[in-house]
Amino acid sequence: MRTGGDIAAVTDVTFDVRPGECLALIGESGCGKSVLASALLGLLPANARTVGQALLAGPEGGLGDGLDLLAADERTLARTVRGRRIGLVPQSPAAHLTPVRTVRSQLHETLRELTGVRKAGAGKPGSRKTGLREAGEAAAARAAFPADHLDRHPHELSGGLAQRAATALALVGDAPLLLADEPTTGLDRDLVDRTADELRLHADSGHALLMITHDLAAAERIADRVAVMYAGRIVEIADATTFFGTRGPRHPYARGLLDALPERAFTPIPGMPPELGDLPPGCAFAARCPKATDACGAVPSPADGVACHHPEEDPTCSN
């Protein structure tokens, strides 16, 4: 909804991410995926406003600690959430790396702040230094970051190497929830698969993973469930096996995303997504949808994981 000069970048979004699970959030550029991740970490611009709840699981895996990320103050987010309970692989890694420090020193500083290595090694400088070095190199290896580049500064890295450095920094704290915002950008296919597999291992160790991605092959490779976002709303949430399998998704937009892949029909979705500041009434996808009818003049309510007036009913049928 737009009120005066306000733009609703994300609207009526409801989902959960469970320990040991990877939820892939997919959709075209500008649909609100990265805004959602920024909201969870309190990284929105100062003039942004949020409503609703984003509950972070407590130490025992439940919601008993009552921490609402959208209501938490900056001190709480900075000291107890970012890096410690939620790790972030940023969409623009170069903007998140400290330009005057090497990758190694940034890994060591992150370890000191997040894992208490400084305290654990008090009085044993040699042991502390060795522990930092080994832990930093292990995180770099997990992110496929070459050890002989650890002493380089961010400006000496290619875009793909900067992406891997940011991934290493996100993994080093072993946070219970990892938000990976386009973690495979700038990587070749082999490194995409290796990075995706490492993120999957992070989830398999009992952590929760929210992966925001345009790369449907990476999502298919590691996701347990898929959430599809369009024009600021989640229009479908489905089991990944069903979504990418012969049954396919039920929302026409989600089917269009798959049909646009080169290995499938290679048929683009007609038209362009609407601007979030100028959404049409009713279903925002109606103007591009082959199934649109007069009923689409109203915003569809989610039912059985899909928000559509005309969802695909026959699971074996494809557009």
Q: Are residues 47 and 82 in the same domain?
A: yes
Q: Is residue 16 situated within a structural domain?
A: no
Q: Are residues 188 and 256 in the same domain?
A: no
Partnered with residue 178 across adjacent β-strands are 87, 209
- How confident is the model over 66-93, as pLDDT tens digits? 699 999 999 999 999 999 999 999 988 8
| Structure tokens belonging to residue 83 | 């890096």
- How confident is the model over 166-190, as pLDDT tens digits? 999 999 989 999 999 999 988 999 9
Q: What is the DSSP string of 217-245?
A: HHHHHH-SEEEEEETTEEEEEEEHHHHHS
- How confident is the model over 244-284, as pLDDT tens digits? 999 999 999 999 999 999 999 999 999 999 999 899 999 99
- Using CB atoms within 10 Å of the CB of residue 218, give its burial: 0 to 12 exposed, 13 to 18 middle, 19+ buried: buried
| Structure tokens belonging to residue 132 | 């930092």
Q: Is residue 2 situated within a structural domain?
A: no
Q: Is residue 12 situated within a structural domain?
A: no
Q: Are residues 175 and 89 in the same domain?
A: yes
What band does 126 get if pLDDT is binned at 50, 70 and 90?
Answer: low
How is residue 303 annotated by DSSP? B
Q: Are residues 95 and 138 in the same domain?
A: yes
Share of the chain above pLDDT 70, in %: 90
Q: Is residue 238 situated within a structural domain?
A: no
How many helical (H) and strand (E) elements, i.e. helices and strands, does the chain have?
11, 8
SS3 state of residue 186? coil
Q: Are residues 306 and 213 in the same domain?
A: no
Q: Are residues 255 and 126 in the same domain?
A: no
Question: For residues 234 and 13, is the Cβ–Cβ distance under 8 A?
Answer: yes
How is residue 80 annotated by DSSP? I
SS3 state of residue 77? helix
Q: What is the CATH number of the domain that holds 170?
A: 3.40.50.300
Q: Give the pLDDT mean for 211-219.
A: 96
Q: Is residue 17 situated within a structural domain?
A: no
Q: Are residues 92 and 154 in the same domain?
A: yes
Q: Are residues 100 and 46 in the same domain?
A: yes
Q: Please give the pLDDT value at position 318.
A: 43
User: Domain range for residue 64?
Assistant: 22-223
Share of the chain above pLDDT 90, in %: 81
Q: Are residues 216 and 297 in the same domain?
A: no
